[in-house]
């Protein structure tokens, strides 16, 4: 290749031109691998299902449990993901709350029914 400063032919791998001392080649920055975003889909699903189950738990108690399970799985696998891991934790908390609330409601309903009947 040729020196950009003086135009003389220099070694292909030369870092500095031996004739004029100008920088011949700009050092190539070490290739950094493109950061891959791996979204924790299970965490998102767990969070959404838990959130929905908070409102619909009376009709779909199973939704609370599904949300809880999805969030737990999402949390266990969180090291594999780089994004949305917080949602798995939030989903777990919501899932526990939702399951507890609706379990209490159903126990209360069951107890009341048992007393009436
Ligand atoms: Zn030169």
Q: Cα Rg for the chain, rounded, in angstroms? A: 31
Report the sign of the C-alpha dihedral through residues 89, 91, 94, 100, in that order.
negative
Q: Where is pLDDT greater, at 20 or 27?
A: 20
Domain locations in the chain as residue ranges:
41-116
Q: How many CB atoms lie within 10 A of CB 42?
A: 24
Token pair belonging to 61: 């108690």
Where does the pLDDT of residue 53 fall: very low under 50, low under 70, confident under 90, or very high at 90 and above? Answer: confident
User: Does the model's pTM come out above 0.75?
Assistant: no
Token pair belonging to 108: 């209360």
Where does the pLDDT of residue 93 fall: very low under 50, low under 70, confident under 90, or very high at 90 and above? Answer: very high
- Ligand 1 midpoint to CA 2 (Å): 8
- Ligand 1 midpoint to CA 26 (Å): 14
Name the strand (E) or helix (H) holding 52: helix 41-56
Ion ligand 1: residues, Cβ under 5 Å: 3, 5-6, 17, 19-20, 22
Residue with token string 């908070």: 54
Residue with token string 């700009």: 26
Q: How many CB atoms lie within 10 A of CB 98?
A: 26
Model confidence at 32: pLDDT above 80: no
Q: Are 17 and 1 in contact (CB under 8 A)?
A: no
Model confidence at 103: pLDDT above 70: yes
* C-alpha neighbours within 13 Å on the C-beta side of residue 56: 13
């Amino acid at each position: 290749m040729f020196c950009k400063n003086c135009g003389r032919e220099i070694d292909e791998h030369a870092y500095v031109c031996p004739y004029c001392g100008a920088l011949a080649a700009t050092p190539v920055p070490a290739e950094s691998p493109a950061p891959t975003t791996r979204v924790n889909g299970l965490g998102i699903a767990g969070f959404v299902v838990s959130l929905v189950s908070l409102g619909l738990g009376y009709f779909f108690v199973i939704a609370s449990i599904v949300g809880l399970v999805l969030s737990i799985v999402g949390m266990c696998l969180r090291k594999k993901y780089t994004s949305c891991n917080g949602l798995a934790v939030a989903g777990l908390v919501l899932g526990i709350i939702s399951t507890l609330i609706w379990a209490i409601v159903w126990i209360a309903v069951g107890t009341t029914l048992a007393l009436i009947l």
